[in-house]
Amino acid sequence: MRRSKLFTRSMGIVLSLGVLLGISAAPANAATQRHFIHITTHGLPIWEANAELYLPGGKQVYKWKVGRTSGGSERWNFTSNGDNGGWLDVGVRGLVKAGSRPEGITKTGLTLDRNYCFQIDARGHAKYTGDSINGNCT
């Protein structure tokens, strides 16, 4: 089947406009999704945290870490390309008593389709507060 020059030229213009306007012909489920891990504190607890991002085959592709710090917050961003089977492991620890080892929470095998939130209270107790699908994390 032979196409006219006008048809070919008009399709080129439409595709060029689509690129300029950020419109894509790719299926909606192929788009990347931006998510985060958010760690907040109340007061000035001493805390530390780490997280690892894994591909479906188990290969670690990224690692975040915050050494002992006082108060503040941390937000780690990641992108999911719809890779079913990839996951996060997250550990958040607070120093409950001077001279003791940090105590905390470790969550493993977290899916890449949502945001995750953790909190350390003024006494150094760490807890998982929720995710963007089930609540308490926006």
The DSSP line for 38-61 is: EEEESSS-EEEEEEEEE-TTS-EE
**CA separation (Å) from 40 to 16, 91, 92, 124, 132?**
44, 13, 10, 12, 15
One pLDDT digit (tens) per residue for the chain, 138 residues: 444 444 333 333 333 322 333 332 333 444 688 999 999 999 899 999 999 999 989 999 999 999 999 999 999 999 887 657 899 999 999 988 777 777 899 999 999 999 999 999 999 999 999 999 998 887
Global confidence as pTM: 0.74
Q: Which two tokens mark 39?
A: 């760690």
Alpha-carbon span 77 to 24, nearest angstrom:
24
Q: What is the pLDDT of residue 102?
A: 77
Q: What is the pLDDT of residue 17?
A: 29
Question: Which secondary-structure segment (H or E) carries 108?
Answer: strand 103-110
- Full set of structural domains in the chain with CATH: 31-131 (2.60.40)
**CA separation (Å) from 71 to 87, 116, 117, 122, 124?**
27, 19, 16, 8, 10
Q: What is the pLDDT of residue 119?
A: 95
Q: Is 34 exposed, middle or buried (0-12, 13-18, 19+ CB in 10 A)?
A: exposed
Q: C-alpha angle with apex 50: 112 to 68, nearest 5 degrees? A: 150
Backbone angles phi, psi at 15, to 5 degrees: -65, -40
Q: What is the pLDDT of residue 83?
A: 59
Question: Which secondary-structure segment (H or E) carries 9?
Answer: helix 5-20
